[in-house]
Structure 1
Amino acid sequence: MLRSRPVLLLIDVQEGFYSPEWGERNNLDAEKHMLTLLQAWRRQDYPVIHVQHASGNPNSPLHPSSKGFQFKEGFGPQEDEYLIRKHVNSCFIGTELDSYLKANGYDTLILIGLTTNHCVSTTARMAGNLGYRTYVVNDATACFDCMSYDGKTRLPAEDVHTFALSSLHEEFATVVSTKETLQVLQTFQYAQNHN
């Protein structure tokens, strides 16, 4: 059972990830699921944290000087939704995320965004190690094809996605679907309303 109002952590849904240079991507419906969850959180006035990657590489599509630094349309923060900018894979490194969560008594994180095997995975691992109850929504994340470490094999995005989630599940986080997340959210709302 959830212990605090769950925080939706929306990671790096930025225009730079929609450049063809990234290659083939899996889960083309991920944004639809992300928006479904974002709208559900907003309806209940639950906490939403937007994370924006600010690359230090001036040639990166995620560098602040690039148009790719901007959030994809429909995914930017509204009103009092919290914004964090990071420079590395983890949302916890070099940011105020941990102190902000602790100061507000938040202990449950729902992770969605890009990309499954990089910033989502790294953040989930740290969140688990820091003691947060952490969930990663499998159909609200996505990644790209990846070359093996030895440069010999191109790994399909869906395989990379599945392996990344499998490495997290029941060790650093619990992997769930959008549907499961919404069901748990309804249960949590009911419990809050009847206490």
Structure 2
Amino acid sequence: MKNAILMIIDMQQGMSWPQAGDRNNPEAEANIAALLVHWRAHHGKVVHVHHHSTEPDSLFWPNQEGVLVQTAFLPLEHEKCVVKSVPDAFTYSDLADWLKEQKSEAVVIVGVSTNNSVESTVRSSGNLGFSTYVVESGCFAFAKQDFDGQERTAQEVHAMSLANLQGEYAEVISVEEAMALLS
């Protein structure tokens, strides 16, 4: 596919801080960075999604360090940026219209957290009719208590979120399969 678009979600400094929580997939940043290098080398289009919270006590409250983009994922001037205040990057943004204007054949989604902003955005992408792919090792989640009060590891949260998405909203793929989409 010549027109697969890479979407990087919420790779901001606060996501790497200990107070964000116990997480899985420690190689996610390296995998996302490798995909970004690949996309740029092949002149692929990239969308950067950044969360700006409406909650003053959030790590992602505007105008503080947690909201800043991690250095490895700083957007280039010509790359699309979407700022959101809810998990879904499509809500209150021009993202769907922009993707249609690009005549995108596919959207490849990576970032954090798998069960929150990634899952929400992937569901909308699939529901809007975009061919959507999620890179399993290009996402991570945080440990969380389930509805019944049982503690779930970050890997359990990640795996369940990917299971929710696979087949119905997206195809879950590897880094190598993602790179092959833009070659």
Within-5 A mapping of 1:58-69:
58-69=56-67
Distance 1:107 1:184 in 2: 10
- The secondary structure found in structure 2 opposite 1:74 is helix
- Give the Å deviation of 1:169: 0.5
Within-5 A mapping of 1:6-85:
6-85=4-83
Aligned-residue Cα RMSD (Å) equals 1.1
Gaps of 5+ in 2: none
Q: Deviations over 1:60-96 (max 9, x none)?
A: 0111122101001110101301111011000000011
- Give the Å deviation of 1:97: 0.3
Larger Rg: 1
The AA in structure 1 aligned to 2:161 is A
Q: Deviations over 1:100-119 (max 9, x none)?
A: 11122224100001110000
- The secondary structure found in structure 2 opposite 1:135 is strand
Q: Deviations over 1:2-47 (max 9, x none)?
A: 4x50000000000111222222100000000000000000001110
1:109 corresponds to which residue?
107
2:167 corresponds to which residue?
170
Which TM-score applies when normalising by structure 1? 0.91
The AA in structure 2 aligned to 1:50 is H
Distance 1:185 1:100 in 2: 19
Gaps of 5+ in 1: 187-195
The AA in structure 2 aligned to 1:79 is E
**Shift >4 Å, 4+ stretches:** none
- The secondary structure found in structure 1 opposite 2:73 is coil
- Size of the aligned set, in residue pairs, is 183
- The secondary structure found in structure 1 opposite 2:182 is helix
